[in-house]
Amino acid sequence: MGQTLQIERANQLKNKPDVSTIKFGTVFTDYMFTNRYTSEYGWSEPSIIPYQNLQLSPSCQALHYGQSVFEGLKAYKNGDDVLIFRPDENFKRMNQSLSRLSMPEINEENALNALLELLKVERDWVPDGDGQSLYIRPFVFADEPFLGVRPSESYQFNIILSPVASYYGAQLNPSSLYVESDFVRSVRGGVGFAKASGNYAASLLAQKKANELGYEQVLWLDGVEQKYVEEVGSMNIFFVRDGELVTPKLNGSILPGITRKSLIELANYKGYTVKEESIHIDDLANDLHSGRITEVFGAGTAAVISPVGRLNIHGVDHIVNDNQIGPVSQDLYDHFTDIQYGRQEDPFGWVVKL
């Protein structure tokens, strides 16, 4: 990067779809951002090009040795304004992921500028329906045609855009979690804190098991003792305990969610007490049973807040708040999304206006 951003115009634009009917992550806009890294020239070919297939060698490093990381964030429409939620945080975290996987870091400022330029070109693709948004997927992968276990000498940094409907439709339906005690997602010293592609593939079998047992998602325990609550795989987890918010503290194997971080800041701002701590699964079971814990929710980019109504711990089902969203979850969800859509003041400087 550091070089001038080139824009190559498409000959023909796609028809805009009815966003309310499309499936998440299946429709992409007319353009994408791309930049190329080589060990000789660094990041040196930033450009906005028509959305198109990638031409990759069958020996492309990422397909064999997995150097591949991604980010996810959203742009929202408010009248004529397009608002992006904390994009700087995503590029900062992307660099942490890149570093852990021995991949070259990007220039965060240039990346943000590139994203803004891309969004200017694609402004009409940001949907304005209730709860709709434009999902933004930056990703970097190794594309050197070489079979050998060492860092690749060439990479692609791409940003693609996908209009998405509300994650929930009209209301927040509580989901169910299965606490996994056989499979392990990550362990300290590993890559759990990175948005590395391999983490997600590794999680699918436990996800399938949870589904077969009648639960929607997996709640992961730590990899060492298999006793401490970590995350849901695509979300961080929060509990309302004695009226206070509690979430597992970051330990290297938990993804440092930007929604997690922002929720903690918002909750503090709103006067809630927030605690980041190690949460033993037996304590969680006791506190659910005794009623000390009154609400459970996941936090992530896709759904912002996803209330949990049922939680299976070592074979015992715990129903949370009569399987309804609770008042704290609803309060935080409303305030958080109001800031994202520009319906309420943003006292944190989180929202970037295009």
Nearer of residues 51 and 272 to its own copies, judged by Cβ: 51
The per-residue b/e assignment along 149-168, b for 16 or more CB within 10 angstroms, e otherwise, is eeebebbbbbbbbbbbbbee
Longest dimension (CA), the chain: 64
Residue closer to its own copies, measured from CB, 21 or 26: 26
What is the β-pairing status of strands 47-50 and 6-7?
parallel
* DSSP code of residue 183: S
Nearer to its own copies, 63 or 112 (CB): 63
Instruction: Classify residue 125 by its DSSP letter.
Output: G
Q: Both ends of the chain: CA-CA distance in Å?
A: 21
**Quick one: 164 or 351, whose CB is closer to its own copies?**
164
- Least Å from the CB of residue 59 to its own copies: 6
Residues that bind its own copies (CB under 8 A): 24-26, 28, 32, 51-60, 62-68, 70, 99-102, 135, 137, 139, 141, 145-151, 158, 160, 162, 182-191, 196-205, 207-208, 223-224, 226, 233-234
The residue among 39 and 52 lying less far from its own copies, judged by its C-beta, is: 52
Task: Supply the minimum distance, in Å, between the C-beta of residue 203 and its own copies.
Answer: 7
Compare residues 300 and 326 and give the one whose CB is closer to its own copies. Answer: 300
- Quote the least distance from Cβ 302 to its own copies, whole Å: 9
Centroid of chain to Cα 351: 17
Spell out a b/e string for 27-64, using b for 16 or more CB atoms within 10 Å of the CB, else e.
bbbbbbbbbbbbeeeebebbbbeeeeeeeeeeebbbee
**Minimum CB separation from its own copies for residue 148, in Å?**
5
Residue 191 beta carbon to its own copies: minimum distance, rounded to whole angstroms: 5
CA 136/CA 22 separation, integer angstroms: 16
Q: At its nearest, how many Å lie between its own copies and the CB of residue 317?
A: 23
**How far apart (Å, rounded) are the C-alpha atoms in residues 36 and 51?**
16
